[in-house]
Amino acid sequence: MRHALCIGRKEFNAYFTSPIAYIVIAIFLLVTGWFFFSTFFLLNQASLRNFFSLLPIIFAFVVPAVTMRLFAEEFNIGSYETLLTLPVRFNDVILGKFAAAVAFVAAMLVPTLAYPILVASLGALDWGPVIGGYLGAIFLAAAFAAIGLFASALTRNQIVAFIIGLAICFSLTLVDQVAFFAPQTVSLVFSYLAADVHFQNIAKGIIDTRDVIYFLSVCFIGLYATHLALRARD
């Protein structure tokens, strides 16, 4: 556990010593800011609903970009070998990198706290959904980070890792949108699988264990798949 913390701290710091962090944060804020405020005054409602409804799609792009380097870069420069011959376990490495990615996304969300503060000054903001939304955003980030980590463990090429991660996250977000073509039973399964549906539930301010369990299981599956992918490299 101490090792995981140590690796996590190093990875988190590494984000901010390379330009990638600042680029990703800037793009994230630009996109969310523009989409949110371009319709905000037309809707004339003091809520962040619009912001949170966009978040899954934006995260599907941004989170794989955050996680793409975590393993792919290590494979590429060969530092994976130096890391794994230090007295660390596989799971310490995976958990440390996962924690660093989630912490980075959380740090990325901090500047967006300006939105609710701004909105609250314009009208009566219901803080319940806002708190739920941010909590859901962390869950969503964790789930996508686990998937992105898995994609990164598959290849030594960061671009490939990004595209694989994006493809999985994007499908997971929108899988319920294709559900209406399918028969009822299948469409129920699809809508259960959709990250978007579970996120919107939490973002309404309702924290249901079903949604929490969904995100935790996606995290677990992603991290376990990462473990298997690393094992397969032997």
Partner 1 sequence: MIRVENLTKYYDDVCAVDQISFNVRKGEILGLLGPNGAGKTTTLRMLTGFLKPSSGRIQVGDYSIEDQLLEIKKILGYLPESAPLYHDMLVLDYLQYVADLRGMPTPLNLDRIRELGDLCGINEVMHQPIGELSKGYRQRVGLAHAMMNDPEILVLDEPTSGLDPNQIVEIREIIRRIGKAKTVVFSTHILSEAEATCDRVIIIHRGKVVADSSTARLQDTLGGQTQIHVTLADAEAAAVQQELAAVAGVTQLGLIEPVGGAVRLVLTCDPSCDPRAAIYHRIRRTNWTLLEFHQETLKLEDIFRELTKEG
Residues that bind partner 1 (CB under 8 A): 2-3, 6-7, 10, 13-14, 17-18, 77-82, 84-89, 234
Give min distance, CB of 179 to partner 1, in A: 42
Phi, psi (degrees; rounded to nearest 5) at 137: -60, -40
Residue among 22 and 127 whose Cβ is closer to partner 1: 22
Kindly provide the b/e burial profile for residues 110-133, where b requires at least 16 CB atoms within 10 angstroms of the residue's own CB. Answer: eebeebbeebeeeeebeeebbebb
- In whole angstroms, the minimum distance from the beta carbon of 230 to partner 1 comes to 12
**Beta carbon of residue 232, minimum distance to partner 1 (angstroms, whole number):** 11
CA distances (Å), origin 158, targets 25, 46, 166, 173: 18, 40, 12, 22
In the bound state with partner 1, the residue whose beta carbon lies nearer, of 80 and 139, is 80
Q: Whole-number minimum distance, CB 61 to partner 1, in Å?
A: 24
Nearer Cβ to partner 1 (80/98): 80
Rounded Cα–Cα distance for residues 209 and 126 (Å)? 22
CB atoms inside a 10 Å sphere around CB 173: 22
- 68 near 158, Cβ under 8 Å? yes
Provide, rounded to whole angstroms, the least separation between the CB of residue 146 and partner 1.
23
Question: For the chain, what is the radius of gyration of the CA atoms?
Answer: 18
User: With contact defined as beta carbons under 8 Å apart, do 155 and 161 qualify?
Assistant: yes
Minimum CB distance to partner 1 smaller for 83 or for 159:
83
Q: Is 125 helix (H, G, I), strand (E, B) or coil?
A: coil
Tell the smallest beta-carbon distance from residue 148 to partner 1 (Å): 20
- For the record, the structure tokens of 74 come out as 């290590």
Q: Would you say the C-alpha torsion 227, 4, 218, 52 has a positive or negative sign? A: negative
With respect to partner 1, which residue has the nearer C-beta, 38 or 82? 82
Nearer to partner 1, 78 or 111 (CB): 78
